[in-house]
């Protein structure tokens, strides 16, 4: 079970977006998210929609895969929409008993919903087109300037790589422990929430012990293979920018400037 | 010059009680002296707690001696400035295949060692390809380690070491967690590496079948080196082996029991063919030792 678990959900495809350098994709996602917060204007959001549409088409990932990520935050979207709708002070639009809807509230709610949906869709495109390994690689290389501020970028990336490798192993192990405890008569299904939570302790303790033991073994194996941090280390698959990556950066810059111009010229106008 | 040389090597560690005070000294290795020749296939035998794993870790400078010295290819393992060179010379494979893999795909896993050594990318690929060929796992290069069998995982772990191009590979019970098929796979791979690439293999094990084909064998007991010799010399002494709570190969045991029962068999029979030859010779009234020699035994 769960032998191929990947964080996020990589969608294998040979599209121009898949082939882009992970650093470009990270920058693209970041820029997209920033532009979503430029303001509340129909024109701005039309720009963002166009950007998202073009990227999704280029990535050839079916839209239903991208939308699937929204399911998990439906409640969050609904809550923030309702709060914004009913609790924003401003010009009265409709009055429903004790609840009032204002024009400003309606506008804010609509933009809030669209913004949240776009946030999720934007980051889904990143995880659907980039393998977790590429992602950690891209982060390590793309964020290496943080080393100036003594952020252990290489170490964090290495931890993420190892975590990705060990998640399926630990999931398997949990499964084994649960079975072993059940064989000895442990009851995980009945009782109220407190009792069930307590029943988890005999699973967690052995799991932690075994995880520490594995970590110890792994550390020794890494040392035995001459691992000594990022210094003097080369990469088997070095990240090198190609022509497409440079073009993507240009397009990204153009998009950013355009959005900035729209935001400045429109000010706080909605349309 | 021997590739590995231990000179009055001792190692002890401290047990601490709950307050962190030293309560006991455990001597894991006591005055071990041995030389291992370059290019040989050597096994280290011993029951649990005999100090064989502690010995293995000395060769890779994961542990350094508390007494005496260990030289790997002429370098003193206690000398910090040689640390990486020692580890580059003597690669190490551990017991649990799952706990020694870092990457989520086979290629990257094998590339991990060369990456740490600072090998340029083109050369890493060459080494990875060569290592995959050497262990016969080229077909699985893109696979996730989680999808491989135990024997395959252990072969990948060996390839990960081979890619670092060490002169010597130390394996600490690499087959302990494998089924018989996986065990044969791994041992066959090791013999191939030893023959074609002239890599010195130091195999720590407690499976007697894995010892039979080795060039030389060391037996450890409670931290001391108690016997050494060719596998045939070692297994000829069934009585001592039993005293050390170690087995001998099944055929040798049968021969020993027959000998005890009065059958005039020679010492040190290792294979079924040799035993058959000796028994046939006895039936036909010929010299059993000569028959065993004819069957291919006693020539090493």
- DSSP E strands, B86-194: 90-93, 168-172
Contacts of A222 in chain B (CB under 8 A): 102
CA dist., res. B54 & res. B69, Å (int): 14
| DSSP letter (8 states) at residue A145 | G
Residue A1 in contact with partner chain B when CB distance is under 8 A: no
Residues B203-231: what's their mean pLDDT? 90
Q: How far is B167 from chain A (nearest CA, A)?
A: 14
Contact state of A3 with B111 under an 8 Å Cβ cutoff: no
Q: Is this complex's ipTM strictly greater than 0.90? A: no
CA dist., res. B110 & res. B125, Å (int): 10
CA dist., res. B282 & res. A53, Å (int): 88
Conformational region of residue B73, where left means phi above 0, alpha means psi within -120 to 50, and beta covers everything else: left
More confident residue, A188 or B76: B76
CB B293 within 8 Å of CB B278: no
Residues A70-86: what's their mean pLDDT? 88
CB A73 within 8 Å of CB A120: yes
Q: Where in chain B is the domain with CATH 3.40.50.300?
A: 4-248
More confident residue, B201 or A103: B201
Residue B170 host element (H or E): strand B168-172
Taking only the tens place, the pLDDT of each residue in A148-191 is 898 888 899 889 888 888 888 888 899 999 999 889 888 877 77
CB A212 within 8 Å of CB A205: no
Taking only the tens place, the pLDDT of each residue in A222-266 is 999 999 888 888 888 888 899 999 999 999 999 999 999 998 888
CB A30 within 8 Å of CB A147: no
> What number does CATH give the domain B4-248?
3.40.50.300
| DSSP letter (8 states) at residue B217 | E
Q: Which residue of A has its CA nearest to B170?
A: A224
Domain ranges of chain A: 16-130+241-266, 147-224
Residue B97 in contact with partner chain A when CB distance is under 8 A: no
Task: Give chain B's mean pLDDT.
Answer: 89
pLDDT exceeds cutoff 80 at B130: yes
More confident residue, A199 or B190: B190
pLDDT exceeds cutoff 60 at A8: no
Q: Is residue B123 helix, strand or coil?
A: helix
Length of chain A: 271
Task: Give chain A's mean pLDDT.
Answer: 87
Contacts of B102 in chain A (CB under 8 A): 161-162, 165, 218, 221-222
């Amino acid at each position: 079970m769960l032998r191929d678990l990947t964080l996020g959900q990589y969608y294998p495809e040979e599209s121009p977006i898949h082939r882009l350098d992970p650093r470009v994709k990270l920058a693209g996602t970041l820029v997209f998210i920033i532009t979503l917060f430029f303001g509340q204007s129909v024109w701005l959001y039309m720009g963002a929609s166009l950007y998202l549409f073009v990227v999704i088409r280029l990535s050839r990932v079916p839209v239903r895969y991208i939308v699937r990520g929204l399911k998990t935050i439906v409640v969050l979207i609904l809550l923030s929409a309702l709060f914004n709708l009913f609790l924003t002070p401003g010009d009265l639009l409709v009055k429903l008993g004790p609840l009032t809807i204002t024009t400003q509230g309606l506008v804010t709610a609509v933009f809030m919903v669209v913004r949240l949906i776009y946030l999720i869709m934007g980051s889904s495109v990143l995880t659907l087109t980039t393998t977790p390994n590429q992602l950690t690689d891209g982060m390590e290389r793309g964020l290496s300037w943080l080393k100036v501020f003594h952020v252990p970028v290489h170490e964090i990336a290495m931890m993420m790589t190892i975590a990705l490798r060990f998640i399926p192993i630990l999931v398997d192990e949990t499964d084994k422990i649960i079975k072993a405890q059940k064989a000895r008569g442990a009851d995980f299904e009945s009782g109220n929430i407190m009792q069930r939570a307590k029943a988890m302790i005999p699973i967690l303790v052995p799991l932690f012990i075994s995880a520490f033991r594995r970590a110890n073994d792994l550390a020794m194996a890494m040392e035995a293979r001459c691992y000594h941090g990022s210094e003097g280390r080369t990469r088997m698959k070095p990240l090198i920018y190609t022509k497409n990556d440079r073009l993507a950066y240009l397009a990204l810059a153009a998009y950013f400037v355009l959005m900035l111009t729209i935001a400045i010229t429109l000010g706080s106008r909605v349309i | 010059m021997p590739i590995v040389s231990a000179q009055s090597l001792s190692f002890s560690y401290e047990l601490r009680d709950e307050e962190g005070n030293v309560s006991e000294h455990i001597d894991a290795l006591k005055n071990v002296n041995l030389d291992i020749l370059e290019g040989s296939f050597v096994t280290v035998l011993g029951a649990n707690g005999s100090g064989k794993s502690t010995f293995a870790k000395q060769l890779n400078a994961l542990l350094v001696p508390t007494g005496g010295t260990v030289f790997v290819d002429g370098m003193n393992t206690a000398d910090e400035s040689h640390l990486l060179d020692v580890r580059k010379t003597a690669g190490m494979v551990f017991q649990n295949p799952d706990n020694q893999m870092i990457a989520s795909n086979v290629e990257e896993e094998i590339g991990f060692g060369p990456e740490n050594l600072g090998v340029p990318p083109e050369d890493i690929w060459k080494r990875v390809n060569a290592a995959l060929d050497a262990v016969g796992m080229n077909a699985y290069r893109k696979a996730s380690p989680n999808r491989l069998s135990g024997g395959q995982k252990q072969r990948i772990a060996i390839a990960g070491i081979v890619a670092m191009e060490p002169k010597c590979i130390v394996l600490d019970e690499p087959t302990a967690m494998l089924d018989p098929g996986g065990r044969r796979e791994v041992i066959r791979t090791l013999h191939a590496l030893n023959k074609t690439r002239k890599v010195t293999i130091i195999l720590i094990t407690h499976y007697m079948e894995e010892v039979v084909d080795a060039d030389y064998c060391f037996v450890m007991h409670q931290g001391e080196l108690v016997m050494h010799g060719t596998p045939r010399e070692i297994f000829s002494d069934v009585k001592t082996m039993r005293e050390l709570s170690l087995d001998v190969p099944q055929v040798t045991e049968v021969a020993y029991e027959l000998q005890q029962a009065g059958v005039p068999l020679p010492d040190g029979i290792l294979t079924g063919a040799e035993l058959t030859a000796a028994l046939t010779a006895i039936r036909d009234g010929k010299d059993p030792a000569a028959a065993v020699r004819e069957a291919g035994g006693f020539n090493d």
